[in-house]
Amino acid sequence: MKGYHIITFGCQMNAHDSEKIAGLLELNGYVESIEPKDSELIIINTCSIRKKAEDKFFSQLGRYKKLKTKKKDLKIVVTGCIAQQEGERIIKRAPYVDFVIGPQNIHLVGNLDTNQRILTSENIDISTLSIDAKRNIQTKALINIMYGCNNFCSYCVVPYTRGREKSRASNEIIEEIKGLTLNGYKEFTLLGQNVNSYKSDINFVELLKKIEDIEDVERIRFMTSHPKDLSDELIKAFKDFSKLCEHIHLPLQSGSNKILFLMNRKYTYEEYLKKIYKLREYVPDISITTDIITGFPSETEEDHLLTLKALQEIQFDGIFSFKYSLRPGTKSAFYEDNVDINTKNRRLNEINQLQDEITDKKNELLKNNKLEILIEGPSDKPNFKLMGRTRGNKIVYLNSHNNSTSYGNIVNVIIKHTHRHSLEAEYIEDSNSHTRL
């Protein structure tokens, strides 16, 4: 039997693409190898969102060259966003790579033909991407609802690597979710670069309602919503749909209107803030996370202070913060990358320090609260048996291990200690009434 090994970089879209590639390979008789050296096929699923991710890929690639000289029948396949963007250049730079396959062509992985080594066509029928995924976690599943992005934020490669927005047919999504509930899955994260532009025979909120109505679905999440399109209807859904978890990831990027304009984000800070107020008006305890880019071209100290002010004002539950990274082919690549690296580092530190204090304080407020968690599996932290997540998407560790705390169960716990990135809790026997948070 032939072995395969997949190395995944990047976002949840890539994580899910890797699950689909694994599903397809197993259908074609491959088995997963823990070690790359034991496999006949190595897939490197790449990310090009920032230069650092791209550099990491090229440095890893060198390692597999050595393996290939030892093992002549080994095939190396590069998939993901770098594959789409760089295409043939990858093979020119690393001739030992056998195939380069873009994210819209992963369905071809099971049937590779050496006559065509670069598979990056953009004119695909998206139903070819509805592939049975091999999922490693048995409680929660990622589900594609749309592919691509039409927003063209000036710094971002995604519209170039994943193409224009295309929505999956709602009945296909519903069937996939129903099938997974039969296998015990409880939580579903709907994936799209901008889920609020989902449009098939129904819109995104109508799709949520259909999923809410599937009996064995316990929790629904989605990633990501663009602030400019976050509708009142969707905000209201957080209150009205009992299975939609009270967490939203809403990328702000900057607190300065000048920078937001240059980023082509199509909203002002004030408009963003209004949506936050509205979300909290409907669901006061909603957990809100965001993305911030620091050091965008022409960002002054004043712009940076506006971002710090925004963090202070909004009090996010958590942020992902990045130094601006120039991406060839994007609109902002025409702007001079003129914030020097020391300033970018300092600004990033200031952003992270402030947010760390806010996250610590927000988590401390959860101490002694009774919360509902979905048990996901064994703890990766010593001294704890289980790991679960709150509806607000916070990681919770706990010890009790009995029939009620089997993987996939939803139980109530009491929060005993809080940390920046996790909470520690005790199981409560009376788990009948779940507390939403």
Interacting residues toward ligand SF4 by CB under 6 A: 149, 151-153, 156, 158-159, 193-194, 226
Q: Which burial class, exposed, middle or buried, applies to 132 when counting CB atoms under 10 A from its CB (0-12, 13-18, 19+)?
A: middle
Per partner kind, with CB cut-offs from 5 to 8 A, the member of ligand 5AD, ligand SF4, none near residue 119 is none
Decide if 1 contacts 29 (C-beta within 8 A): yes
Q: Is 324 in the site for ligand 5AD (CB under 6 A)?
A: yes
Hey, which residues between 254 and 313 contact ligand 5AD (CB under 6 A)?
Answer: 291, 293
User: Is position 49 an interface residue for ligand 5AD (rule: CB under 6 A)?
Assistant: yes
Find the shortest distance in angstroms from Cβ 151 to ligand SF4: 4
Tell me the C-alpha distance between 408 and 139, whole Å: 5
Shortest distance, position 324 Cβ to ligand 5AD, whole Å: 5
From ligand 5AD, ligand SF4, none, interface partner of 322 (C-beta below 5 to 8 A by class) = ligand 5AD
Alpha helix segments (H runs only) across 197-251 = 204-212, 232-240
DSSP label of 120: -
Which string of DSSP letters, residue by residue, matches 338-398?
-S-HHHHHHHHHHHHHHHHHHHHHHHHTTTT-EEEEEEEEE-SSTT--EEEEETT--EEEE
Binding residues with ligand 5AD: total (CB under 6 A): 12
DSSP string, 150-166: ----TT--HHHHS-S-E
Question: Is residue 168 part of the contact set for ligand 5AD (CB under 6 A)?
Answer: no
* Amino acid at the residue 263: M
Residue 221 binds: one of ligand 5AD, ligand SF4, none (C-beta under 5 to 8 A by kind): none
* CB closer to ligand 5AD, 139 vs 161: 161
Using CB atoms within 10 A of its CB, is residue 408 exposed (0-12), middle (13-18) or buried (19+)?
middle
In 17-90, the DSSP E strands lie at: 31-32, 41-46, 75-80
Q: HSE (CB half, 13 Å, CA atoms) of 121?
A: 11
> In angstroms, what is the minimal distance from the CB of 373 to ligand SF4?
30
Q: Which does 173 bind (CB under 5 to 8 A by kind): ligand SF4, ligand 5AD, none?
A: none
- Give me the least distance between CB of 7 and ligand 5AD, in Å please: 20
Nearest distance, CB of residue 293 and ligand 5AD, angstroms: 5
* Residue 432: both structure tokens together: 């009948």
Q: C-alpha 174: how far from its chain's center?
A: 21
| Nearer to ligand 5AD among residue 49 and residue 395 (C-beta) | 49
From 81-89, 141-149, 208-216, 320-328, span contacting ligand 5AD (CB under 6 A): 320-328
Which is closer to ligand SF4, CB of 178 or CB of 266? Answer: 266
Residue among 4 and 324 whose Cβ is closer to ligand 5AD: 324
Select the binding partner of residue 57 from ligand 5AD, ligand SF4, none (C-beta < 5 to 8 A, by kind).
none
Q: Report the distance separating Cα 350 and Cα 99, nearest Å.
A: 43
* Segment near ligand 5AD (CB under 6 A); pick from 201-209, 231-239, 321-329, 353-361: 321-329
Query: Cβ 343 to ligand 5AD, closest distance in Å?
Result: 15
Q: 208, 233 in Cβ contact below 8 A?
A: no
CA angle at residue 283 from 278 to 288, to 5 degrees? Answer: 75
CB of 326 to ligand 5AD, least distance (A): 7
253 scored as a contact of ligand 5AD (CB under 6 A):
yes
Contacts with ligand 5AD, residue ranges (CB under 6 A)? 49-50, 155-156, 251, 253, 291, 293, 322, 324-325, 327
